[in-house]
Amino acid sequence: MSGEIRLGVIGTGQRAGMVKLWQQNEKRVQIVAAADPNAPNLERFAQQLGSTVWTTQDWRNLLERPDVDAVAVLAPDFAHEEISVAALEAGKAVYCEKPMAITVAGCDHMLAVARNTGKLLYIGHNMRYMPLFQTMKEIVDSGVIGEIRTVWVRHFVSWGGYYYYHDWHALRRNSTSLLLQKGSHDIDMIHWITGHFGQKVSAFGQLTYYGGDKPNDLTCLACPEQRTCVEAKLEPGARCAFRQEVDVEDNMEMMIQLEGGILASYAECHFAPDYQRNYTFIGTEGRLENSEIDQTVHVWTRRSGTYRELTNRVYTVKSNYPGGTSHQGADVLIFQDFLDALLEGKEPSVSPVAARMAVAVGCAGAESMRHGGQVVEVPPLS
């Protein structure tokens, strides 16, 4: 494929804000169509782009258009599989937000259809383009800390309630687990930086803070406690984070055994006072740890019989991100990678297989923590 890509956007909610950045920063794409059942979101999206964009409330109508070459699937997680499969079968290339799907079977279905149609399926694991994590990958690949033997990841989510417990995310039937929605990023980083996929997991998790006895139809705008509730989200449609139907864990701990005998631990908490990801990689010759708050990576070395043992190091990530400030430029850079793969045949930085494996580990973790922490094998690729 060559020339300018005519893109259709399916889902014009929160993540659709990055589409304007794509059009501003990338001359190889034109946004020609958008679909969303939410009419106000759809209208606002078209107005923000400042161009003539054909709109529809039914994404199936968008896929029928011959002037759409590719689609960006920015719909809720539970719709990723259905929309992506239909788009591939309609002859469109697909950029799909992570997580790839909410089940392993869904991911495998998407992979099979992509193979059968020969169309590009790209999953938006944008953390691979964030400078802090690219720096960590470069350090590990350089051999400074030797061969990785263990990984510790702590994910503090201070906006957990605001983003995940007032809407569809809070129900297992819609998201499976936040080990997919939030954790798939971190699982993918563990896989990418170590170069190994998870094979088995054991996990524990519970609803420690959210959920409760409030009516399922109670909205924050209609709640008499809105002025005093620290979790109130005063936006139309936002439901109480303490409603009875909430069943997705907000506090999780997972152990992962990776290929090659590497051990990893992952902790995710959605009522932390701060927002950051803290990663530690320990190898045979040293330890690497990041500080997301001050954008530094620290390396401590141990005896190795080489010159590297003589120096500990601190890497400071520069703030002039090449793709702008949205996720440290990653939202623009990953879409450029999608276009490079689509227009120039370059190997994508994110393979759909890797995205599938992140979901597979998250699903195994959800199964384990809902069955007393039993060890669960990660389903291998079929």
Q: Domain range holding 340?
A: 5-126+333-349
Same domain, 237 and 259: yes
Same domain, 184 and 303: yes
Q: Is the residue at 382 inside a domain?
A: no
DSSP secondary structure of 332-349: HHHHHHHHHHHHH-PPPS
Query: For the stretch 131-157, what's the b/e string if a residue is b when 16 or more beta carbons lie within 10 angstroms of its beta carbon?
Result: bbbbbbbebbeeebbbebebbbbbbbb
Same domain assignment for residues 268 and 360: yes
What CATH code is carried by the domain that includes residue 176? 3.30.360.10
139 and 84 housed in the same domain: no
**Residues 246 and 267 placed together within one structural domain of the fold:** yes
Query: How far is 35 from 73, CA to CA, in rounded Å?
Result: 10
Q: Is residue 291 part of a domain?
A: yes
Q: Are residues 155 and 122 part of one domain?
A: no
Residue 29 lies in a domain: yes
Same structural domain, 96 and 207: no
Q: Residue 99, preceding bond cis, omega within 30 degrees?
A: yes
373 occurs within a structural domain: yes
Both 306 and 180 in one domain: the answer is: yes
- The amino acid at residue 276 is Q
Looking at the structure, do residues 237 and 367 belong to the same domain, yes or no? yes
CB 171 within 8 A of CB 237: no
- The count of structural domains within the chain is 2
Do 65 and 112 lie in one domain? The reply is yes
Q: 149 and 107 in one domain?
A: no
| Sheet strands (E) in 36-187 | 54-56, 70-73, 93-97, 121-124, 148-156
Closest CA to 318 of 128, 135, 86: 135
- Tell me, yes or no, whether 110 lies in a domain: yes
3 state DSSP class of 373: coil
For residue 221, count other CB atoms closer than 10 A to its CB: 13
CATH number at residue 30: 3.40.50.720
Residues 290, 144 share a domain = yes
Q: What is the pLDDT along the chain (382 residues), one digit of tens a residue?
A: 556 899 999 999 878 888 888 887 778 999 999 999 999 999 999 988 877 899 999 999 999 999 999 999 999 999 999 999 999 999 999 999 999 999 999 999 999 999 999 999 999 999 999 999 999 999 999 999 999 999 999 999 998 899 999 999 999 999 999 999 999 999 999 999 999 999 999 999 999 999 999 999 999 999 999 999 999 999 999 999 999 999 999 999 999 999 999 999 999 999 999 999 999 999 999 999 999 999 999 999 999 888 888 999 999 999 877 767 778 889 999 999 999 999 999 999 999 999 999 999 999 999 999 999 999 999 999 7
Burial per residue of 273-297, b for 16 or more beta-carbon CB atoms within 10 angstroms, e otherwise: eeeebebebbbebbbbbbebeebeb
C-alpha to C-alpha distance for 246 and 171, rounded to whole angstroms: 6
